[in-house]
Amino acid sequence: MIYKEVIERIYDSMLNQTGEGKVASYIPALSSIDPKSYAISVCDLEGGEFSIGDSDVRFTIQSISKVFVLAMVSRYLGDKLWERVGREPSGTAFNSLIQLEQERGIPRNPFINSGALVVTDMLIDLYPNPKQAILDFVREICGNRDICYNEEVAKSELEHSHRNLALANFMKSFGNIKNDIDTIIDIYCNQCSISMSTKELAKSFLFLANTGVNPINGQKVVGPRSSKRMNALMLTCGLYNESGDFAYRVGLPGKSGVGGGIAAIIPGRLAIAVWSPELNNNGNSYRGIATLEQFTTDIGISVF
Ligand code: GLN
């Protein structure tokens, strides 16, 4: 794998770069994660793979699941999806309520919590057993049948989901939530609790580097237009109110989660996943961002 040396060098130089942020604790079950965990995995479209660090340790992917659920819904809904959710960066925190009142219950984009709750609401109408369908989808795209929900984390989030409940209730008052709110929150907390390693996460993002086709088995996950759009949304909205800075520093479509993971792609080349659980004030892994910034700088390739 041609990126091996670059990644080894970055890993060694950042291994002790901890202590500048905090592991998420608003979901109590996440607070026990080892803050020093660190992993990088890269897979390319030619079948090359390289991983370093805690790359076999599974962590909850949290908001990264928003990409998968969007892909599942966009398979069926096409442009109808955008009647209920926007595609502009929010410039606000991932769980913010602030724009919803002015914008009459239409979330800015599918990668903040309000937007993802609307997408999960749509998923319920499209798949008879949504929780199983989400697992089947993720298992298929990463080629690993034993991907599971982390029930402890899902339960912990469910018990502390007052803000997500508020978002869903508020949107329901505008008519933008159709299904039972407790059902939506239950599915949402479960999708966030999907546990994957960076090795699995990098594989699962390869279809987005390959115009929607999974290079591992040749199957079409989404069409080329959807793939292009999902990458554009990741670039503009994938790191919440830090998306502009991420584009500036890293120059790739990417998606983060409060579990400390970030997955990103270089179109036509590769997918990369990083895990480092200490978060900055925006809820993003600061070492994860620094790692990706160094990676695109060192290899001299980004989307720009
Ligand atoms: N489960 C988390 C939440 O809803 C996901 C947020 C995130 O990863 N940014 O708060």
Q: Name the amino acid, one letter, at 245.
A: D
pLDDT at 12: 98
Which amino acid residue places its CA nearest to atom 10 of ligand 1? 95
Please report whether residue 143 resides in a domain.
yes
Give the other-Cβ count within 10 Å of 98's Cβ. 11
Rounded CA gap, 182 and 5, in Å? 48
On whether the CB atoms of residues 263 and 138 are closer than 8 A, the answer is no
Which amino acid residue places its CA nearest to atom 4 of ligand 1? 113
Query: What are the CA-CA distances from residue 84 to residues 11, 174, 207, 262, 272 (Å)?
Result: 41, 11, 26, 26, 31
CB within 8 Å of 280: residues ≥ 6 apart: 20, 21, 242, 286, 289
Give the position of tokens 């990409």: 67
- For the cut 90, the answer to whether the pLDDT of residue 1 exceeds it is no
pLDDT tens per residue across span 48-69:
999 999 999 999 999 999 999 9
Ligand 1 center to residue 261 CA distance, Å?
A: 12
What range does the domain containing 144 cover?
Answer: 2-299
- For the cut 90, the answer to whether the pLDDT of residue 285 exceeds it is yes
Please report whether residue 82 resides in a domain.
yes
On whether the CB atoms of residues 250 and 293 are closer than 8 A, the answer is yes
Rounded CA gap, 20 and 65, in Å? 26
- CATH number for the domain harbouring residue 260: 3.40.710.10
Give the other-Cβ count within 10 Å of 195's Cβ. 18
Please report whether residue 89 resides in a domain.
yes
| HSE, side-chain direction, 13 A CA sphere, residue 156 | 18
Please report whether residue 145 resides in a domain.
yes
pLDDT tens per residue across span 13-52:
999 999 999 999 999 999 999 999 999 999 999 999 999 9
Please report whether residue 151 resides in a domain.
yes
Ligand 1 center to residue 113 CA distance, Å?
A: 7
The total number of structural domains in the chain stands at 1
Atom nearest to 164 CA in ligand 1: 4
